[in-house]
Chain A
Amino acid sequence: GENVEQHPSTLSVQEGDSAVIKCTYSDSASNYFPWYKQELGKGPQLIIDIRSNVGEKKDQRIAVTLNKTAKHFSLHITETQPEDSAVYFCAASVGNEKLTFGTGTRLTIIP
């Protein structure tokens, strides 16, 4: 089955700087890659996703890039703000199959 590795496990950045979280996947048939954000005491929430026929997708300060050849995808957050502090999970799936999640990255924004 699919295996998703996520790095780093913790990340601290100064407010206003950029943050990058990387994930690799094992199944070359995977074609859907969402990112979820989990704030303290809450359940994860979908923030952005990308399909394998697209190399990059942006939504305001958040972007996701995909490299199908290397089987990795990344979340980029620019101009970080205190409300970006959270745990972020990447995931991958083949078609409509169940998602396989990465192990999570705890992002801390330092004021």
Chain B
Amino acid sequence: NAGVTQTPKFQVLKTGQSMTLQCAQDMNHEYMSWYRQDPGMGLRLIHYSVGAGITDQGEVPNGYNVSRSTTEDFPLRLLSAAPSQTSVYFCASSYVSPGGEKLFFGSGTQLSVL
């Protein structure tokens, strides 16, 4: 079981460039999410999906696009990169227990936008 796999681990972009961060999970979880982590701001939700074909916006969705064609994959697209999108991005898959949502995170993508 690889869990949640994110690629690439590091990426440098120029302002205006586009790119896709890849995320795949092998735990057969219905839920998947994208978070960004910035110093002093914790983990903020960008977009999430509750199943194939279903996506919704989180707290900070602007400038990002997602789609969910399969249970396993949940790519995050940066449409036109901006310096404000410099961050560490985490993909997570999850399931909802009787208590609440239990998240399993990938190892992250460190993105720099120049």
- A residues contacting B by CB (< 8 A) are 6, 9, 31-32, 34, 36, 41-46, 49, 51, 89, 93, 95-96, 98-99, 101-104
A32-B106 contact in complex given A43-B92, A44-B43, C-beta closer than 8 Å: no
Inter-chain contact B40/A9, CB cutoff 8 Å: yes
Q: For window 66-114 of chain B, which residues contact chain A by CB distance below 8 Å?
A: 90, 92, 96, 99-108
- The contact size tier of chain B is 20 to 34
A46-B33 contact in complex given A9-B40, A89-B42, A101-B42, C-beta closer than 8 Å: no
Inter-chain contact A44/B99, CB cutoff 8 Å: no
Inter-chain contact A95/B100, CB cutoff 8 Å: yes
Inter-chain contact A104/B42, CB cutoff 8 Å: yes
Inter-chain contact A99/B42, CB cutoff 8 Å: no
- Main SS at interface, chain A: loop
Inter-chain contact B90/A44, CB cutoff 8 Å: yes
- B residues contacting A by CB (< 8 A) are 4, 33, 40-45, 48, 58, 90, 92, 96, 99-108
With a cutoff of 8 Å between Cβ atoms, the chain B residues found around residue A96 in the complex are 96, 100-101
With a cutoff of 8 Å between Cβ atoms, the chain A residues found around residue B100 in the complex are 31-32, 34, 49, 51, 93, 95-96, 99
| C-alpha gap A9/B40 in the complex (Å) | 8
How many Å from the CB of A37 to the closest CB on chain B? 11
| C-alpha gap A45/B43 in the complex (Å) | 13
A44-B101 contact in complex given A98-B45, A98-B48, C-beta closer than 8 Å: no
How many Å from the CB of B85 to the closest CB on chain A? 19
